A = this chain, B = another copy of it.
């Protein structure tokens, strides 16, 4: 492995000059630069990351703390991770992958030992124990999610409250008045994963504002969970004409169930789903949906990290506006049902 000294010798300059060619922090004449770059290319020189980190106190690595349990939302999480890695690379950074189950210790380890310049965390809970730990680090962090006390920490997420309101507004605009919410699994609520709460709150507020009759229920995974969720919804409010489904995994069994029980979508029941676009379009009925913009959120998180590292100002809470895409699962309610 050639070092910067080897390059310097080959180019007939001092090591510091090579460094300045690399970093561009001081003016270097065009010919010197050319000679240095030629030497770099010829020797195949790559600066030693550790040495660089030691000398500059910058690692060009960011930590991504992801919930790597094999959980409900695996594909969505993957989309976030992909977006983060891709965006980080576009800023010449790499990504160190941490699991959530190391808890607070993982963060502290990588931060204190200066392995990373910044952290991005996913899957935040309402009173996430990692938040106070984060505040003590010298590295900045960005959250994908919106825990209770996030003052002073940058947060990025879809505006799930607005998403719920948009879903209801869309259905109300089609004349629906009796609407059920198929929520995430009880486990998600129990963990107080913040998006579930925010969605539910927005849903309840909007149903009051719009004068709707609504019922909400979490939904256990699997066909059986869907069956009992639907049973509960129907029991609590008869004559449902529309469903909002905030549970990716439930979509498929739900459509199966509706089909099996002779309720046609959208003729008898309209549906708005909150899920990634590709899930919405992979169903037997193309679902009108509000996308979970994992790519945008992940990219934005990285951009925010970079601003923070540059010492630029950031908006501490960025909630992305939901976009509802109309497909084939909603229909103007027929007069008979009004």
Interface residues of A (CB under 8 A from B): 1, 44, 46-54, 59, 61, 64, 68-70, 74-75, 77-79, 81-82, 85-86, 89, 94-99, 102, 109-110, 112-115, 138, 221-223, 252, 256, 278, 282, 284
Contacts and interface: CB of A to CB of B under 8 A. Distances in A.
Question: How many copies altogether?
Answer: 2
Contacts of A222: 282
28 contacts: A44-B112, A46-B112, A46-B113, A48-B53, A48-B54, A49-B59, A49-B113, A49-B115, A50-B51, A50-B114, A51-B54, A53-B53, A54-B54, A61-B96, A61-B115, A64-B97, A68-B85, A68-B86, A74-B74, A77-B78, A81-B97, A86-B99, A89-B99, A95-B96, A95-B97, A96-B96, A222-B282, A252-B252
Nearest to A256: B256
B50 A54 contact: yes
Contact of A82 (B49, B68, B86, B109): B68
Contact of A70 (B44, B52, B82, B112): B82
Contacts of A85: 68, 97-99
Contacts of A284: 223
Contact of A78 (B59, B74, B112): B74
B113 A47 contact: yes
A280 to B, nearest CB: 13
Contact of A48 (B1, B70, B82, B114): B114
A256 B54 CA distance: 59
A46 B106 CA distance: 13
Contacts of A75: 70, 74-75
A77 B282 CA distance: 20
A53 B49 contact: yes
Contacts of A51: 50, 54
B89 A102 contact: yes
A257 to B, nearest CB: 12
Given A1-B138, A252-B252, A98 B94 contact: yes
